[in-house]
């Protein structure tokens, strides 16, 4: 069980990094510093969100859509502020955060449905 959950965390983080980095590069986030920032922000937000989602889904009667909306909104706000205060080339940090997270979420759903 623990190994399965650990693999879930790793796969989720890997896909999130791939999708969000692709989105950010597509929208002209450039520079080594900002690319590293995108990676670090996702490394620090993705595992807690996946873990919390898993716990809430198993232990509450909340609809899955509510859990996802609350968690993704929190991530968007956190990432947006990180980009706003620390990024060098991200001109619209909250729009990048919203777009990258929406792209990552829906691309992840599509990927999981294909696999």
For residue 86, pLDDT beyond 60: yes
Tens-digit pLDDT profile for residues 7-66: 989 999 999 999 999 999 999 998 999 999 999 999 999 999 999 999 999 999 999 999
- Residue-range domain boundaries for the chain: 2-114
Gyration radius of the chain's alpha carbons: 14
| Cα 8 to Cα 78, 82, 104, 110, 113, distances in angstroms | 23, 25, 16, 16, 15
30: left (phi over 0), alpha (psi -120 to 50) or beta: beta
pLDDT higher than threshold 90 for residue 3: no
């Amino acid at each position: 069980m623990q190994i399965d959950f650990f693999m879930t965390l790793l796969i989720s983080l890997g896909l999130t990094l791939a999708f969000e980095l692709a989105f950010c590069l597509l929208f002209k986030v450039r520079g080594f510093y900002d690319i590293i920032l995108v990676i670090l922000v996702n490394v620090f937000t993705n595992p807690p969100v996946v873990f919390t989602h898993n716990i809430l889904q198993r232990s509450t009667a909340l609809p899955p859509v509510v859990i996802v909306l609350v968690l993704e909104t929190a991530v968007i706000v956190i990432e947006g502020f990180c980009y706003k205060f620390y990024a060098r080339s991200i001109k619209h940090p909250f729009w990048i955060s919203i777009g990258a997270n929406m792209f990552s979420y829906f691309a992840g759903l599509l990927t999981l449905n294909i696999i």
